[in-house]
Structure 1
Amino acid sequence: MYHRLLPLAGLLALLAACNSGPTETTGAAGAEEAAAADTTSYDPDASTDSARMGKTTGVMVGNVSLTPNKTLAQNAAASPEFSQLAQAAKQTGIAENLGGDGPYTIFAPTNAAFDKLPYGAMAGLLKPESKENLTGVVNYHIIQSRLLAMDLRDGQELTTMNGQKVKIGVQGGKITVNGANVTTSDVVSSNGIMHVIDKVLLPPQE
């Protein structure tokens, strides 16, 4: 059967609509707490001991052990679960940043998460003319600080690398980001932290 790729015009708007879900609401006190909880102002020097926080044996993702002596870029490239994320990060040049000093926290969608996007969406974003849009999507998954699961609080809002915010949910020991479930938390790398998620985060259209 012939499948037509989605046109680039309006692609992100369609993706955002498919990715939308219920939004938590908080009272005035909760809003103030969420604003105060934006932890992107963490001291970058705190990242120097990232590797020491992780287990030497690493964390298994996709039958591959992601170890704290490797950078985020190296760990993402090592697991077959992140091949689409690694491809997008490489094509946009963001992989070079994730191989640098950091610190970074990345909410990393698996290939299964990318497969939930409408047919043709990823192919459209990977076109050369869509590099700016793809860069915005990838950067929407990255926080420029080191955040372990214990640092995340319900209602917390974090500013991403593309300048827009994501909202954290913590209920019953489970963590979500913009409604996406964190399936594996605290995958420690030498320059930051990875939290595996089951849904691609899409920037809101302004």
Structure 2
Amino acid sequence: MIRFATMTAALALSLTAPAFAENPMVGGAAMYEDKNIVENAVNSADHTTLVAAVKAAGLVDTLSGEGPFTVFAPTNEAFAKLPAGTVETLLKPENKDQLTKILTCHVVGKEVMSDALKGMIMDDNGKHPVPTLGGCTLQASYEGDMIVLEDEMGNKAHVTIADVKQSNGVIHVIDAVMLPKM
């Protein structure tokens, strides 16, 4: 009788409580749908380099704005794959324009969830162009079951954590830095 009552209570709860998909953790931190991209990113231990770059480029207000935005967010490890000294050089004030160009090549001016992107990839026979706010066009495709982005230099990034919902868009964590055509 207790088992039946417990099952009945659980069923009643599942029918009355709204079902929310919980945002994934990023960099050891909870990501909150009611916070914007910058408010969440500053809490990720895996994105300290990205946050420093966003600040140096003067993009905090933009990415805290209304949006919607999709941000392909490279991890600290992704930045570490760049040639030695690259990040330090880009963070210098005299390189702000180049840094801004690189960072905005990771931002799309609308919210694109992974299921929608997968659909666009399928509709375009396996490769879909993704225009960014920085004027770059990334090519989205699949490798196995992972979404892969290719920049204009031929560098590839895998989406390692998808669909991190924000109040002003969505973040997809990636494992490489996307670069504009030089």
Does the TM-score normalized on the shorter chain lie above 0.5? yes
Question: Partners of 1:137 and 1:54 in 2: how far apart?
Answer: 34
- Of 127, 140, 146, the match for 1:174: 146
SS at match of 2:42: helix
Q: Which has the higher contact order (CA 8 A, sep 6+)?
A: 1
Give per-residue Cα distances to partners, 1:19-73, cap 9 Å, x unaligned: xxxxxxxxxxxxxxxxxxxxxxxxxxxxxxxxxx974x43111111111111011
TM-score by structure 1 length?
0.71
Gaps of 5+ in 2: 1-18, 151-155
For residue 111 of structure 2, what is the amino acid of its counterpart? R
Asked if 1:202 is matched to 2:179, the reply is: yes
Task: Go from structure 1 to structure 2 and tell me whether the alpha carbon gap of 1:92 and 1:59 turns closer, same or farther (over 3 Å shift).
Answer: same
Question: Partners of 1:65 and 1:200 in 2: how far apart?
Answer: 23
- Of 114, 122, 128, the match for 1:149: 114
CA apart distance, 1:163? 1.2
- Of 94, 99, 102, the match for 1:137: 102
Gaps of 5+ in 1: 1-52
TM-score by structure 2 length?
0.80
Task: Go from structure 1 to structure 2 and tell me whether the alpha carbon gap of 1:54 and 1:81 turns closer, same or farther (over 3 Å shift).
Answer: farther
Contact 1:59 1:67 survives alignment (8 Å): no
Question: Partners of 1:167 and 1:127 in 2: how far apart?
Answer: 29
Q: Tell me the number of residue pairs that the alignment of Structure 1 and Structure 2 aligns.
A: 152
Instruction: Give the greater-gyration-radius structure (CA).
Output: 2
The residue correspondences of 1:16-95 to structure 2 (distance < 5 A) are 55=21, 57-95=22-60
Question: Partners of 2:59 and 2:23 in 1: how far apart?
Answer: 23
